[in-house]
């Protein structure tokens, strides 16, 4: 059932319009004798169309339209304006303010029989489609909010402490949800760490990122080196995505005073011991998921009395169009500035890096950073 409000200060005009349109099915007619009364009715009733006279004494049609556009609950109601035939300038102004359509007075027989009913029907049909789209968008937005809350719990930003290491992460999706993921876990005497970046953005990337975390768990529990785990993950994601979605990933394991790692196309992480300047763990390698078979090499670094690892996704490079060499120089300088903050102020270090690399403008890509302590 549609609710149509006719707002005109002259009763004869309201009566004539309702009589002309009275045969339209599924329509409830409402009347307002002034602009202020029209606003009061729209606040109380679920109005689907406003037929608005532009020239009224207490509050004219333009003031009504301004008040509606300023109130979110009334912004979407279509407005069919009408005024005297010699006042086309007012109609043109109303259309510029967002009125859906118009007609002129006095009414002609052709207008009453064909034109006005057609304009009303078109306005109601269009509004019905818009209402369905808004409902669908609200449902999608609600599901995205729930998905984003789930992903925040999945990725986590809190400090995670294990026997042989710890991790503090920072995650900034460019949309409500994204495709970056990091994690760490302790298995026996081995401390494992992983960061991955799924291609694309949005729901699909977020779903794949969730699967990356689960698959990382499964591979670690089955056993194997970092390189073998990347090869297992590559086989799984190539089979699932058939090469349409790919991801970069870095996997490392700390045990027996040695850090073993393998890289699948991921940006080179920074690595440093407390007695040395930062270095970068560079490897040329293929992302996961593009080819059915891919080989990944494993390298090692001595941990000695402990070391730090900074993992990040390429979103950190995207915002400033950074080249990898520039990132290395910039990170080396920034990490030197805040090296006295560690351990204990890991979150402040990540925030310091974020401010140094990322503009305040809307992000173009997901950004993840993780500061890892290796014992």
In whole angstroms, how far apart are CA 75 and each of 16, 99, 262, 364, 367?
Answer: 27, 11, 55, 30, 36
CATH classification for the domain delimited by 2-144, as one of 3.40.50.2300, 1.10.520.20, 3.10.450.50, 3.30.70.100: 3.40.50.2300
Neighbours of 270 (CB within 10 A): 22
In whole angstroms, how far apart are CA 7 and each of 152, 229, 233, 266, 325?
Answer: 50, 71, 66, 64, 67
Phi-psi region of 324 (alpha: psi -120 to 50; beta: other; left: phi over 0): alpha
Place of tokens 């109130």: 71
Q: How far apart are CA 246 and CA 244, in angstroms?
A: 7
Report CA 338 to chain centroid distance, whole Å. Answer: 32
DSSP, collapsed to helix, strand or coil, labels residue 109 as helix
**285-321 as b/e: b if 16+ CB within 10 A:** bbbbbbeeebebebeebebeeebbbbbbbbbbbbbee
**236-266 as b/e: b if 16+ CB within 10 A:** bbbeebeeebbbbbbbbbbbeeebbbbbbbb
- The full set of domain ranges for the chain reads 2-144, 156-374
Tokens, residue 64 = 């009504």
Strand ranges for the chain from DSSP E: 2-7, 27-32, 49-53, 79-84, 101-105, 160-161, 165-172, 180-187, 190-198, 247-255, 258-264, 270-273, 279-280, 299-302, 307-312, 367-374
292: phi then psi, degrees, rounded to nearest 5: -60, -35
Rg of the chain in Å (alpha carbons): 31
Neighbours of 323 (CB within 10 A): 10
Looking from the CA of 243 toward its CB, the CA atoms found within 13 Å total 6
In tens digits, the chain (375 residues) has pLDDT values of: 899 999 999 999 999 999 888 888 889 999 999 999 999 999 999 999 999 999 888 899 999 999 999 998 999 999 999 887 677 888 889 999 999 999 988 888 888 888 999 999 999 999 999 888 888 877 766 765 666 666 566 665 567 888 889 999 988 877 667 778 899 999 999 999 999 998 877 777 778 888 888 899 999 999 899 999 999 999 988 887 776 788 999 999 999 999 999 999 999 999 998 777 888 987 788 999 888 888 899 999 998 888 999 999 988 876 555 566 677 888 888 988 888 898 889 999 999 998 888 866 667 788 889 999 998
CATH classification for the domain delimited by 156-374, as one of 1.20.1630.10, 2.30.40.10, 3.60.40.10, 3.10.450.50: 3.60.40.10
Q: How far apart are CA 272 and CA 307, in angstroms?
A: 6
């Amino acid at each position: 059932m549609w609710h149509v409000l006719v707002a005109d200060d002259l009763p004869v005009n309201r009566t004539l319009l309702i009589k002309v349109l009275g045969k339209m099915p599924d329509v409830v007619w409402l009347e307002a004798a002034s602009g202020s009364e029209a606003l009061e009715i729209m606040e109380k009733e679920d109005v689907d169309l406003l037929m608005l006279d532009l020239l009224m004494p207490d509050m004219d049609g333009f003031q009504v339209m301004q008040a509606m556009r300023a109130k979110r609950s009334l912004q979407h109601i279509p407005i069919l304006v009408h005024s005297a035939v010699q006042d086309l300038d007012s109609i043109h102004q109303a259309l510029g303010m967002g009125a859906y359509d118009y007609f002129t007075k006095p009414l002609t027989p052709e207008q009453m029989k064909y034109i006005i009913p057609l304009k009303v029907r078109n306005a109601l049909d269009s509004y019905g489609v818009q209402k369905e789209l808004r409902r669908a968008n609200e449902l999608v937005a609600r599901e995205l909010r729930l998905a984003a809350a789930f992903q925040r719990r999945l990725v986590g930003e809190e400090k995670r402490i294990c026997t042989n290491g710890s991790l503090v992460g920072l995650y900034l999706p460019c949309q409500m949800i994204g495709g970056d993921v990091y994690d760490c876990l302790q298995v026996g005497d081995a401390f494992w760490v992983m960061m991955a970046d799924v291609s694309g953005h949005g729901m699909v990337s977020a779903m794949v990122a969730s699967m990356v975390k689960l698959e990382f768990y499964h591979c670690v529990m089955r056993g194997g080196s970092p390189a073998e785990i990347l090869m297992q993950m590559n086989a799984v994601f190539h089979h699932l995505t058939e090469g349409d979605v790919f991801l970069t990933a870095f996997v490392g394991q700390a045990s027996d005073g040695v850090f073993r790692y393998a890289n699948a196309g991921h940006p080179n992480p920074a690595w440093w011991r407390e007695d040395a300047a930062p270095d970068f763990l560079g490897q040329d390698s293929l992302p996961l998921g593009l080819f059915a078979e891919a080989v990944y090499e494993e390298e090692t670094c001595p941990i000695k009395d402990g070391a730090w690892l900074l993992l990040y996704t390429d979103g950190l490079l995207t915002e400033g169009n950074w080249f990898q060499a520039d990132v290395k120089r910039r990170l080396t300088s920034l990490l030197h500035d805040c090296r006295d903050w560690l351990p204990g102020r890991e979150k402040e270090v990540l925030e310091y890096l974020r401010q140094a690399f990322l503009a305040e403008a809307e992000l173009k890509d997901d950004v993840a950073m993780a500061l890892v302590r290796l014992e």
